[in-house]
Amino acid sequence: MLKSNSASAASATGGTVASARIRGIVFMVLGGALLTLNDAIMKGLTGGYPIGEIMTFRGLFVLIPLLLFLKPAGGRRALAIRNRKGQFIRAVLVVGSTFCFVAALSLLPLADAIALTFAGPLFMTALASTMLGEFVGWRRWAAVTVGFVGVVIMLRPGAGAINWAAALPLGAALAGAFRDIITRQISATDSSFSILVVTTGSVAVAGIATMPFGWVMPSPGDLALLACAGLLLAGAHYLLIEALRLAEVTVIAPFKYVSLIWATMFGFLIWGQLPDVWTWAGSALVVLSGLYILHREARHGIVESRTSAL
């Protein structure tokens, strides 16, 4: 199935399967760069603005370009909501994961926050066994265990007090795993466009609800940065969707971990921060376990797209 999809995409563009895969990899790497640059902008703004306010502007500046593409996506039919309960649960999870991750950016180095979110596939594998009834063999359970050892290493338990701020990106990863499971359940009845619009709008509305707790009028420069971050986020997800259209998940998914390189580069250039040996060692175990889980899922034919809107 995945191979035929890649072949058809290559045929439609007049290229070969190999060239489509290369383009898919390039899109995945570029999409990760845009996402990480968006995160860097968010981190830079968290010191001067409440998290809820940042969530609102981030949601609005993503929602505006989305609505501009409403007609090409199918018009009002693309916004049809059939699984209201599933959409609501997913929206709540996205709001929670967004809050946790933006809060993490305000407290942790960029590379550390992103590295800890790589625990998402580990949570996803563990939850798939109980919530979706998928069979998870001992090899994948062993990979999950190794991955969580990597998470513990990044928490530095033997180097004094644990940095409890690390719980925030882990919370974002856990909420993201639940979100992906819900997405798999509601995608059979609701379009990707409606799911994206509902969750993006929910993030903006949730942020607006925090206005009574204090907002700061953004300066023109910061407002431009917020708009830029929203456009970067929208562009990133467009590239990720295109990457999944052009190539198999097993080909392009490993390249999402290049985001750690982007995060290290941006963190060093902007804040002069570099990951320490604990972060590198732990993230290496998390990445390797994630790649092994992907390999095992590919062998058993259960790999599917798990890229989500937010």
- Cα separation of 200 and 194, whole Å? 10
Instruction: Check residue 303 and give its pLDDT.
Output: 52
- The CA distance from 156 to 136, in Å, is 29
Rg (CA), the chain: 19
State the DSSP code for 307: -
AA letter at 201: G
The predicted pLDDT at position 124 comes to 82
Q: What is the pLDDT of residue 166?
A: 87
Chain segment 159-176, per-residue pLDDT in tens = 554 577 888 999 999 998
Report the distance separating Cα 175 and Cα 167, nearest Å.
Answer: 12
197-207 pLDDT, tens digit per residue, is: 898 899 999 99
C-alpha to C-alpha distances, 8 to 17, 20, 130, 167, nearest whole angstrom: 8, 10, 35, 43
Query: Which of 38-52, 182-196, 262-276 shows the lowest per-residue confidence on average (mean pLDDT)?
Result: 182-196
Mean local confidence (pLDDT), 48-59? 91
pLDDT in tens, 134-144: 777 888 889 88
- Cβ neighbours of residue 235 closer than 8 Å, sequence gap 6 or more: 31, 34
pTM to 2 decimals?
0.82
Helix (H, G, I), strand (E, B) or coil at 280: helix
| Residue 3 vs residues 10, 144, 244, 250, 308: alpha-carbon distances, Å | 11, 27, 12, 10, 21
- Separation of alpha carbons 111 and 268, rounded Å: 9
Whether the predicted pLDDT of 219 surpasses 80:
yes
User: So what's the pLDDT on residue 58?
Assistant: 86
pLDDT top residue among 253 and 47: 47
pLDDT one-digit tens code per residue, 75-126: 888 888 999 999 999 999 999 999 999 999 999 999 999 999 999 888 888 8
Tokens 């939850």 sit on residue: 127
What is the domain partition of the chain in residue ranges? 2-299
The pLDDT confidence band at residue 300, using thresholds 50, 70 and 90, is: low
| Per-residue confidence (pLDDT) for residue 11, from 0 to 100 | 45
DSSP 256: G
Residues of the chain above pLDDT 90, percent = 39
CA–CA gap between residue 280 and residue 288 (Å, rounded): 12
Phi/psi of residue 191, each to 5°? -75, 155
Give the pLDDT confidence of 252-299 residue by residue, as tens digits.
878 888 999 999 999 999 999 988 888 899 999 999 998 888 877 776
Question: What percentage of the chain has pLDDT greater than the value 70?
Answer: 88
